[in-house]
Structure 1
Amino acid sequence: MTKVLILYYSAYGHLETMAEAVAEGARATGAEATIRRVPELVPEEIARKSGMRLDQAASIATVDELADYDAIVVGTGTRFGRISSQMASFLDQAGGLWARDALVGKVGAAFTSTASQHGGQETTLFSILTNLLHFGMTIVGLDYGFKSQLGVDDVRGGSPYGPTTIAGADGSRAVHEEEQAAARHLGRRVAQTAAKLAAPKLEGSSA
C-alpha cells in the first residue's frame, strides 16, 4: 500500500483543513495517508494571546519518519513570500536524510495559505518545492486537469504549483470548498504517482 505523509504547519487552522483534504484525496485511491504537523516555535503565552490554534489533532512529526513514506505533501503558510520559520526549522534538520539520499525518488508536493490573493502564494510554493527538489524528490503540482483553478467568478486560491487558500487579513475567511477540492485532487495525484513509481518493473524490462 502506498504511504503518503501530509506534513503541515498551521497557525490558525486553514492549513490544517487543507491537510485533511489532501489526505482525503490520497485515501480515495486506496493509499494510506498520515497527517503530521511540525512543532510550534512561538511561546505558548504569545500564541494564545494571538488566537493561534493550539488544539490541532495531528501529532508532531519527527524528521526521521519522513523516510518511511512513498510521498510527502508539505503545507505551510507564507511568511513574506517564503515558508514559515516553523517549517523551515523542521526541514533544516533533515540534513542527515539528504546526506544518505533517504528521500531520493519519493514524490513531493506543496500547498499553502496567504492573507490576500497576491500575498506570495506562488513564491511560497516554490520555496517548499525547492526544498523537496534538493532532497531528490519527484514533484507533482496541481495540474490543469483540475479546471476549477481557472475560474474567476469567486475569490479562490490555487495554482499549477499547488493548492492554496486565502485566509483574509484577520484569518476569518474559511477555506473555500473549491480550495478543498483542489487539495483533494492533489492528494489523489500524489498517491497515484507514487504508486506508479513504486510499481515493480516487468522481468527483462529496461524501463
Structure 2
Amino acid sequence: MPKVLIVYASRTGESEKIANLIGEGIRIAGLEANVVKVTDIKKETDLQGYDALIFGSATYHGSMMDKMKTMLFMAEKAGLEGKVGGAFGAFGWSGEAPGRIYETMENIFKMNMVGDPLMLKSPSLGGGIKMAQEYGKKIAAKLAG
C-alpha cells in the first residue's frame, strides 16, 4: 500500500488541522498517511520510504515558518526527485508560504506535484474541511496513476 508523509509547521494550529484533514482524505482513498510536525523530522532519512510527501506551513510575516525552511534545506539531500508531492498552508492576510513550498518541491526537488498548493484561511471556513480532504484524495489519485 502506498505511504504518504504529511509534514506541517503550525503557529496557531490551523495548518495542523489542515494536515490532518489531508491525511483523512488520503485514508478515505485507501492509502496510508502519516502526519508529523516539522520538528519531528531530524534527518533526511526521516523523509525516505514514502511514495508521496506533502509539506505545509502557516504564512508568518510574509514567509513560511523558519522550521519549515530548515527542513526544506535538509530535504534537498533526501532524494525526492520524481516522488508525488503537494503543499498547503493556513494564512491570515497574504498566504505566500504554500506557494514557496510548492515551487521548492517542484523546481529544486524535481517532484511530481499535484495541481496547485492548497491555501486556506482556516479549515473551518468556506468548505475548508472538504477542500483539504479532496486535496488528500488528489494525492492518492495521482499515486494510483
* TM-score normalised by length of structure 2: 0.90
Partners of 1:104 and 1:195 in 2: CA distance = 18
Deviation at 1:177, TM superposition (A): 6.4
Q: Count the aligned residue pairs.
A: 143
**For 1:130-166, what per-residue CA distance to the aligned partner results, in whole angstroms no more than 9, with x for missing partners?**
211111101112xxxxxxxxxxxxxxxxxxx232222
Greater strand fraction, Structure 1 or Structure 2: 2
- Take 1:76 and 1:126, find their aligned partners in 2: how far apart are those partners? 10
CA drift of 1:125 comes to 2.1
Q: Which has a greater percent of helix?
A: 2
Matched, 1:70 2:43: no
The sequence identity of aligned pairs, in percent, is: 30
Identify unmatched segments of 5+ residues in structure 1: 40-59, 142-160, 168-173, 197-207
* Alpha-carbon contact 2:99-2:117 (below 8 Å) kept: no
Structure 2 CA distance for partners of 1:81 and 1:38, relative to 1, 3 Å: same
Query: Is the CA contact 2:80–2:110 (under 8 Å) kept in the aligned structure 1?
Result: yes
Structure of greater relative contact order (alpha carbons < 8 Å, 6+ residues apart):
2
2:81 is aligned to 104
Q: Which amino acid aligns with 2:11?
A: A
Q: Please point out which of 134, 138, 141 is paired with 1:189.
A: 138
Kindly report structure 1 stretches of 4+ aligned residues shifted beyond 6 Å.
none
Per-residue CA distance 1:157-184 (angstroms, 9 max, x = gap)? xxxx2322225xxxxxx73261121110
How many angstroms apart in 2 are the aligned matches of 1:94 and 1:83? 15
Give the AA of the match of 2:47: L
Equivalent of residue 140 in structure 1, options 74, 97, 114: 114
> What's the counterpart of residue 166 of structure 1?
121
Q: Matched residue of 1:93: which SS? A: helix
Contact 1:14–1:175 (8 Å) recurs in 2: no
In structure 2, the residue matched to 1:95 is 76
Deviation for aligned residue 1:91 = 1.2
Given residue 71 of structure 2, which amino acid in structure 1 is its aligned partner?
Answer: F
